[in-house]
Structure 1
């Protein structure tokens, strides 16, 4: 009887416990205990998967660049040859008419009897320098005005009765003209034949220097 009663009691307890609904608190506790796994594990796995996955090439920027070739070394320059100190160097009279052309023009006007003022205006520089070998030593006149004054002072004491002009003898930087003159000295009336050579330096088509050399 006791065993049946005990069995009945145990069965009733089981039935009660099975039939008795769970309280909200108990249900909440159970739900909390049996929660679904957090989603963070899934996110972390996705991140690792994304990092591990190879990236796709994005156009020309993503494509692999060819390796640069090393720049070619410039060819070694040959050492410049040393100039021969005894070798000749080029010489020029500058721009404009050549010494030959200037000399030809001067001689042509002299033979035609043109006045010195016209010859100077066409072929001589306003900064002309004229050199004479005087008994007291060499002298130089600077500027066309000074040269003109020198000529006027000489003509006051001398008269030219005849002149022959030879040339021009042209060079790289100038020309020369040979003059043979019959001269009278006015104060004394004495006459003499005199030969002189005028050497003219040309720069940029104009005579910039003249020097007169006398024969003995």
Structure 2
């Protein structure tokens, strides 16, 4: 798959809330996920698809309610692409909130090798 095809597929899956499918289908086994900052629950950097999937499950378990997702069309440049992700959610023990982040991905050999989030 080209970077554009991977970007389009990721956006399609994320718009459906199918983040785990996107990871399994599009990510390299050695992918790296980088958060804006470390928290008590999530490391700044997560290495390897299995660890990224575990982080995703942990995130899902911390969300009490999801009211909607928005994902922009991707912008592609070479082997990289970016999109925005908006989430209207309620985390366990917290008030409902709307989050927005810029998601930047790098592709190599037809797989996503890194993702980084900016808020």
Q: Name the TM-score, length of structure 2 as normaliser.
A: 0.85
**Greater gyration radius:** 1
Which protein has the bigger strand share?
2
Pick 1 or 2: higher relative contact order, CA cutoff 8 A, min separation 6: 2
CA RMSD of aligned residues (A): 1.8
Instruction: Evaluate the alpha carbon distance shift between residue 103 and residue 132 of structure 1 in structure 2; reply closer, same or farther with a 3 A threshold.
Output: same
2 CA distance for matches of 1:149 and 1:123?
16
For structure 2, the residue ranges without an aligned partner over 5 or more in a row are: none
Whether the aligned pair in 1 keeps the contact of 2:20 and 2:56 (CA below 8 Å) is: no
Q: Name the TM-score, length of structure 1 as normaliser.
A: 0.49
What's the CA shift for 1:141?
0.6
Which protein has the bigger helix share?
1
For structure 1, the residue ranges without an aligned partner over 5 or more in a row are: 1-96
What's the CA shift for 1:197?
1.1
2 CA distance for matches of 1:118 and 1:149?
13
Alignment of 1:1-216 (within 5 A): 97-111=1-15, 113=16, 115-134=18-37, 139-158=44-63, 159-188=65-94, 190-214=95-119
The count of residues paired between Structure 1 and Structure 2 equals 115
Query: Runs (4+) of structure 1 moved beyond 6 Å?
Result: none
What's the CA shift for 1:135?
5.1
